[in-house]
Amino acid sequence: MSALFPLSFVPGHREPESPGDAPLVFAFRGRELLVTPEGALPAVEQIDALGLEAVRRQYVGALHGKHCYSLELAPKIPPPGALEFRDLRMLFGRLDPEHHAVAGRAVQIVEWDRTHQFCGACGEKTVQNEIDRSRQCPVCQFPMYPRLAPSMIVAVEREGEILLGRSPHFPPGIYSVLAGFVEPGESAEESVIREVYEETRIVVGDVRYFGSQPWPYPNSLMLGYTAKYVSGEIDTTEDELEDAKWCHPDDMPNTFPGNISISQWLLNDFLERARSK
């Protein structure tokens, strides 16, 4: 389901001796990627010619044998020449899917590197570790890895209907499957049951794994599940949802357009199964 075939990309933290032929450079201003007006990754020569000064640089790994680098540019740098800065979410369907997947890794490495220059425990300047992708404090030895926040997303079904909710942050009229962060000390399945109950007062069971998707906005790993209704009536007064309802395939509310995220894959899976009956 992910755009990146697992074995076409070899992650790495140690920079090779030479960048080799046609390396791929993912240059970021904040979380925005430097792209051509068509939304493609610029050639390395095109980036080099701009003479941009990188605050920091990281080796990310190799895609089909081509070395990939991330560059952190100064936060307020104007768009150089004919190139543009674009949020990765705006580049779905434009940037090559494999480049998009590597860019999702690269932006998180850039962000981790930028925010872990000093020890969170004692304040000392940190150093990059040789053995893995981490920085470490030379005084108190505190290690710092890129942050990854596991989140769950779930399609709850009851007699041919699906439970959809509306967050106040969604565009008007849009509904989606329920989602939330996994808390320290709970399994992903426990998190599914807790979140659905907290948001809607519905009790679910038969929680089954569906698939996952990295979601680097800013650093989630979305774990997708399906679950079955057990008991309860919808009540959204206790939590963050504006509304929730059971939806029949023939009477669906508006949902996020496209087929780029696991919320849409879950929804499409439900609709396909419903229509094949």
* Minimum gap (Å) between residue 156 Cβ and Zn ion: 44
Among 15, 48, 87, 124, binds Zn ion (CB under 5 A): 124
140 binds Zn ion (CB under 5 A): yes
Residues from 205 through 234 that contact Zn ion (CB under 5 A): none
* Minimum gap (Å) between residue 112 Cβ and Zn ion: 17
Give whichever of 124 and 272 is closer to Zn ion, judged by the CB atom.
Answer: 124
Query: Encoding tokens for residue 163?
Result: 């439970």
137 binds Zn ion (CB under 5 A): yes
- Interacting span for Zn ion (CB under 5 A) from 21-29, 87-95, 130-138, 215-223: 130-138
Give whichever of 139 and 148 is closer to Zn ion, judged by the CB atom.
Answer: 139
Among 122, 148, 149, 203, binds Zn ion (CB under 5 A): 122
Give whichever of 20 and 143 is closer to Zn ion, judged by the CB atom.
Answer: 143
For Zn ion, how many residues bind (rule: CB under 5 A)? 8
Selection from 19, 76, 18 nearest residue 52 by Cα: 76
Residues from 169 through 208 that contact Zn ion (CB under 5 A): none
* Minimum gap (Å) between residue 199 Cβ and Zn ion: 39
Query: Encoding tokens for residue 121?
Result: 């425990």
Report the C-alpha dihedral over residues 227, 231, 236, 237, rounded to 10 degrees: -150
127 binds Zn ion (CB under 5 A): no
Three-state secondary structure call for residue 126: coil
Task: Lay out the site mask for Zn ion across 62-101 (x = CB under 5 A, - = otherwise).
Answer: ----------------------------------------
**Number of neighbours of residue 273 by Cβ within 10 angstroms:** 13
Among 142, 170, 197, 256, binds Zn ion (CB under 5 A): 142
132 binds Zn ion (CB under 5 A): no
* Minimum gap (Å) between residue 142 Cβ and Zn ion: 5
Among 25, 33, 119, 156, binds Zn ion (CB under 5 A): 119
Residue 171: CB partners within 8 Å, gap ≥ 6? none
Terminal Cα distance for the chain, rounded: 24
Own/partner contacts of 144-149, CB < 8 Å, gap of 24 or more, are 144/112, 144/116, 144/119, 144/120, 145/112, 146/108, 146/109, 146/111, 146/112, 146/219, 147/108, 147/112, 147/219, 148/108, 148/219, 148/220, 148/221, 149/181, 149/182, 149/219, 149/220, 149/221
Distances (CA, A) of 25 to 59, 60, 72, 222, 245: 10, 10, 11, 26, 45
List interacting residues with Zn ion (CB under 5 A): 119, 121-122, 124, 137, 139-140, 142
